[in-house]
Amino acid sequence: MDTDTTTSSEALRAEMVAKVRKVGYARRSEVQQVLLNTPRHEFVPDADLAAAHNPWQAVITHRFSDGRSLSCASAPFVVAMMLDQLHVQPGDRILEIGAGTGYNASLLTQLAGRADLVTTVDIDPDVTEQATRALTAAGYDDVHVVIGDGALGYAADAPYDRLIATVSPWDIPAEWWNQLADGARLVAPLRWRGQARSVGFTYTNGKLISDSIELCGFVYLVTEDEGELSGPITADETVKLHWDRDQAINVDALRGVLDQPRTTAWSGITIAGDEPHDGIWLRLTVTDQRVCRIDAHSDVPSELCDPVQAFRSPALVDGKSLAYLTSRRQENGDEVRWELGAIGHGPAAAELVEHLCDEIRAWAPEKDQHKPTLTVHPAGTPDSEFDGAAIDKTHSRFVLTYDA
């Protein structure tokens, strides 16, 4: 590599890390250092330097035959966020689910202090071949790169002090539970009630207890027993709902509901255009078992369906009725803000929209500063052992609670 390219990449890495830290990630000094030390562009050779170091951009490196992305280098801010959550210590034995480009494994190696402590698993041999090639070129050929089903973990190198998934599981597979050392940390972009969050857990006394929950989105874990269901509520299938299989949602009963009269309510709560509102959805997963996701194709007119974000917004479903989060623009001189509210259809629309506005108002005082705790118990754990309603998965039970 010529000197100009080296200098340019170092400057771009420094700028990348500075921007990531400005938004609150790479808080741990060791995470900041490995991001600065590692030539990210060498793990994504088909991307130009600017794209490789864009802090907000994932670089897709492998696709399914239908064009969907199968593997990518996660955006640097997401990498930093999850490494902050993982809290790697020197000497930790680490399992990574989803090999990607090998970039994350190289960072994990530096944090752990030895390449032979890191095992990375991916189901696609093309992905593992690429990761192996990049890791070897970077001097990390002792990383154990395994072709296999990530849902099965990798028992041969267990137990692990740290487990990180860079693909999104709907559940925590039983094999992951069995391969964790007591006191281990697990970080995974989990999905429940239609939304995805990177959750950092500590494994103790046979259960996983969260201490951080961050918004994220990832390629789904392949081969997992998938428990998220979906179905259209319009004849042309341009508006769909997505829900978990433990929810009593009958999508057939909701087809055509958007053609019924619209009921709208406004909360009085406003946010700036760049201010997040996903905390409302997270709160609803604690307080209301009816919450799911609505998505509308970009061509759907707002007169028919007008969610706050077309492709992913929280909705409440009750029998033949639904309500979803919406917003409207408000101007005060040069200031533009957005008022949050709810739109509902069906016989229970009035109750649903008022309830959703109440939840918006309850979220507003602290917004995203007060996040719940997610405790994950093994499947079969009786209700008597925890407070709150459980979200039942195949291998586990998710229980979300707010501290008193």
CA 77 to chain centre: 13
* Amino acid 284: pLDDT: 97
Residue 331: beta bridge partners? 336
Active site residue 71: yes
Q: How many residues does the chain have?
A: 404
Per the CB < 8 A criterion, the answer to whether 177 and 62 are in contact is no
Rounded average pLDDT per 10-residue block, the chain, 404 residues: 67 96 96 97 91 88 50 86 98 96 97 98 94 96 97 97 95 96 97 96 96 86 79 97 96 96 98 93 96 96 96 97 97 93 98 98 88 96 93 96 82
d(CA 15, CA 9): 10
Distances 341 to 310, 316, 349, 356, 381 between C-alpha atoms, Å? 15, 13, 13, 8, 37
- Which tokens is 24 given? 């609150």
- Which tokens is 22 given? 């400005």
For 76, other C-beta atoms within 10 Å of its C-beta total 26
In three-state secondary structure terms, 285 is helix
Query: For residue 280, which phi and psi values (nearest 5 degrees)?
Result: -65, -45
In three-state secondary structure terms, 326 is strand
- Position of tokens 């090998």? 102
Q: Is 116 exposed, middle or buried (0-12, 13-18, 19+ CB in 10 A)?
A: middle
Residue 322: beta bridge partners? 317, 345
Distances 52 to 10, 38, 42, 218, 298 between C-alpha atoms, Å? 12, 12, 9, 18, 29
Per the CB < 8 A criterion, the answer to whether 221 and 97 are in contact is yes
Q: Which of 267, 274, 258, 360 shows the shortest CA–CA distance to 306?
A: 258
String of b and e for 351-364 (b: at least 16 CB within 10 Å)? ebbbbbbebbeebb
d(CA 243, CA 241): 7
In three-state secondary structure terms, 178 is helix
DSSP string, 110-166: HHHS-GGGEEEEES-HHHHHHHHHHHHHTT-TTSEEEES-GGG--GGG--EEEEEES
Distances 248 to 169, 241, 245 between C-alpha atoms, Å? 22, 13, 8
For 170, other C-beta atoms within 10 Å of its C-beta total 20
In three-state secondary structure terms, 124 is coil
CA 301 to chain centre: 28
Q: Which of 195, 198, 133, 141 shows the shortest CA–CA distance to 165?
A: 198
- Which tokens is 58 given? 């994932």
- Which tokens is 94 given? 């680490």
String of b and e for 313-339 (b: at least 16 CB within 10 Å)? bbbbbbebbbbbbbbeeeeeeeeebbb
- Which tokens is 393 given? 């998965």
Amino acid at 155: A
d(CA 24, CA 311): 26
Among residues 8, 65, 71, 267, which one is catalytic? 71
- Position of tokens 């093994």? 378
Helix (H) or strand (E) holding 220: none
* Amino acid 4: pLDDT: 55
CA 218 to chain centre: 6
